[in-house]
Amino acid sequence: MIQHLLKLRKTQALISYQNIKDWSLDYYQSKGVKEPIDRAIVGGFQCQQFSFAFMAGYQAALEKMFPSIAPNEFKALCVSEEKGGHPKAIQTVLQDNQITGVKTYVTAGTEADHLLVLCRTDEIINDRPVLKIVHVPRQAAGVELTNFELPFMKDVKHGKLNLKAIKIEESQILKGDGYSDYTKPFRTLEDICVSAAYQAMLLRQAIDNNWDDHLRDQLLLNIYTLKNLLKLPPTDQETHLLLSAADYSFKNLLPTIEEHITNHSYIHFKTDWEGNKKVISLGKKIKDIRLSKARSAIFLND
């Protein structure tokens, strides 16, 4: 992978993308990329905006989770609702092959061509409604998406999704449980791919701006670690434990990384980093719970 990145560096200057459409053209046309994680790494390495490094990781995770759904087309997972994303909070309903409900937060939703919507059904198992993921084309009748900006990642508009009796076919309903088979493992895939993408973005800064050798090498090691973690089952406790350890390793580097950004990177990268770096800390509560369960399962149940 490093040789591919170095060749890419020789032929392509760092890009400041104006919008998602410009970015997606490069992302989906990346040459020499075979696996979603490689696309995440290349996508992060060739840009200098955190928003688009994040999007490279997000789309790569979706490709990994849903390999047969619209390959090489922009997708969004639609889970969060007014009361959250926990199975008990899901009120969007799939009934009689129609979907009705509201998703309050869809990453880059207004740009997506394909929506993967978590819905509840009338079927009850173990005292909770069975959940399903339904593939809804963006242009389906009754789909309403409005965009809004977050206080960070302003290069990407996020969406609120309103579904008004969307008619669907049985073939659009994905097999398996919408939460345990898709939503839950996707969170792990997203953490891995997004981390790999923004660390690849930092690796490019390290190479271009002559950061200390040990820092460059450590970023490269972290990226290889994440690449290999994606080969493990995303629901395994061992995967969660190793992912947390990789995250801890990166966060130990952050003070030195930020010192190098301040002293060696261009002003536009410094500004973008300061405005968006809080993304790294998002989801801490969920990650801490996941780590605690992993440690208990592995070390306390032998």
294: confidence class by pLDDT, cuts 50, 70, 90: very high
Taking residues 10-14, report their average pLDDT: 80
Show the tokens assigned to 100.
């009705």
What would the pLDDT profile of 217-241 be if each residue is shown by its tens digit? 999 999 999 999 999 999 999 999 9
pLDDT of residue 302 exceeding 70, the answer is: no
Phi, psi of 83 (to 5 degrees): -100, 10
77, β-bridge pairs: 116
pLDDT of residue 156 exceeding 80, the answer is: yes
Torsion of CA 53, 77, 72, 99, to 10 degrees: -160
The dihedral through the CA atoms of 69, 70, 71, 74 has a sign that is negative
Taking residues 49-58, report their average pLDDT: 95
Show the tokens assigned to 211.
């950061």
Rounded Cα gap, residues 166 and 178, in angstroms: 18
What would the pLDDT profile of 167-180 be if each residue is shown by its tens digit? 999 999 999 999 99
What would the pLDDT profile of 169-219 be if each residue is shown by its tens digit? 999 999 999 999 999 999 999 999 999 999 999 999 999 999 999 999 999
CB 121 within 8 A of CB 129: yes
Q: Which domains does the chain have, with CATH numbers?
A: 2-64+182-299 (no CATH), 75-173 (2.40.110.10)
Average pLDDT, the chain: 92
What would the pLDDT profile of 65-82 be if each residue is shown by its tens digit? 999 998 889 999 999 999
Q: At what angle do helices 184-208 and 2-11 cross, to 10 degrees?
A: 60
pLDDT of residue 22 exceeding 80, the answer is: yes
Taking residues 103-125, report their average pLDDT: 91
